[in-house]
A and B are shown apart, each in its own frame.
With several copies, the nearest count.
Chain A
């Protein structure tokens, strides 16, 4: 084809696809018809990124590939267009999702142990339906509970490429020796509780 332009083709494909496309995928699709290399694909994406510098859209690399998205500078307008369409998620869902993200692979039991309440099936269903979590195996203990981990779609939804880009999990402030620490504070405890002094050494 005479007028074949890799950059414009990739742009149109990224805009047409409902999900991010990886370099491999783009290469496979286009190399069916045209002699190109993977480097050509990467170069074209670079060129596209360059073209977009002055535009209000940008190429974004997320876990599942490349996608094109609006620059934040026009979010004010988009918020008008999309008013009230913003999805909201409950704290229970966000906590469950966080535990899966940071502790994966985890079973429902692991999640329950941390949150101290049972995990609602509807939350797990929502997370699965959105393809944010998946079962990656079954733990070899009685009952063979399913182990969950997060997916590339989960990262893409938050515009991330890798799990490491998630906010850092706060350190546990637990002192090396919790008992010692508690002993030091026994004075406070006694005051507050009016406990007999013998109750703690």
Chain B
């Protein structure tokens, strides 16, 4: 296999992205990075799996030993910073945050004999990380393959002295119809997209939750979720609840094990 020399100056894409490489040392050590640097930093990630892999590799951890609590905390810190800068990706990153939180909570649950058979809650995440890492690695290799116009230069002669008959593309009237249908289909997708973008703000959801709880002393945890919503919407609600807890604006109360969970306001009326 023809592999490309790393020292080629042209090959300067994504310096931070080679997570296993030494380049990482140039990365900020803690989370408190100036926003501009953070933007650059985040731009180098290809999504939540990529970011998680980075966090794991940064600590020289084996994927199989992920300390879920630590990683979750770091991850959530990152996405909190991210929310202000990288709104476009927030949905997917938020989903991962919720998944991590869920895994963490399941690990904390007392284990009973009869669910002993159940899979470790981290297994699915680990599988996805391993699978993604395979393709990420191989895509770096493909990127180093010889390619036309970078490492392979094609030999051609000029043929413009040759009177090439100009053949214009031919179209049928039905091609027009089909194309216009495509346009309409796409336009439709557009309108739904616009509609989707709005509601995904955690801050906004926090306010809504506070308003809901304000009048009553407490509400049931489930009541805060609108099941009509898409999965992402539920995740936003969940994150909003976590955020409110962190800011000591609400409290979660569970009278007995596996009993009803209540959410109580801590804001003075």
Contact = CB atoms under 8 A, between A and B. Distances in A.
Asked if A and B form a direct contact in the complex, defined as CB atoms under 8 angstroms apart, the reply is: yes
Interface of A: 12, 15-16, 18, 57, 60, 67-70, 72, 75, 78-79, 82-83, 85-92, 94-95, 97-99, 101-102, 114-118, 130, 156-160, 165-175, 177-179, 181-183, 185, 188-189, 192-196, 198-201
Nearest to B119: A179
B49 A175 contact: no
A78 B153 contact: yes
B139 A116 contact: no
A15 B157 contact: yes
Given A130-B168, A174-B127, A167 B138 contact: yes
A182 B119 CA distance: 10
Contacts of B191: 175, 177
B182 interface: yes
B45 to A, nearest CB: 9
A174 B183 CA distance: 10
A86 B65 CA distance: 41
B138 A68 contact: no
Interface of B: 1-2, 10, 13-14, 17, 46-50, 64-65, 67-70, 89, 92, 96, 107-111, 116, 119-120, 122-123, 126-128, 130-143, 145-159, 161-165, 167-177, 179-184, 186-188, 190-191
A87 B181 CA distance: 23
A165 B1 contact: yes
A95 B176 CA distance: 7
Nearest to A181: B64
Given A95-B136, A170-B138, A182-B122, A116 B17 contact: no
Nearest to B145: A158
Contacts, number: 276
A118 B153 CA distance: 32
B176 A166 contact: yes
23 contacts: A67-B157, A69-B161, A88-B169, A91-B46, A91-B182, A95-B183, A98-B142, A98-B179, A102-B176, A114-B187, A115-B132, A116-B50, A158-B146, A159-B147, A166-B176, A167-B1, A169-B134, A170-B137, A177-B191, A182-B126, A193-B69, A195-B69, A199-B107
Nearest to B96: A116
B155 A12 contact: yes
Contacts of B67: 188-189, 192-193
A18 to B, nearest CB: 7
Contacts of A195: 69, 107-108
B139 A98 contact: yes
B135 A167 contact: no
Contacts of A193: 67-70, 107
A119 B244 CA distance: 33
Contact of B149 (A86, A99, A168, A178): A86
A34 to B, nearest CB: 19
A115 B47 contact: yes
Nearest to A84: B10
Contact of B175 (A85, A94, A201): A94
A166 B10 CA distance: 22
Contact of B162 (A75, A88, A117): A75
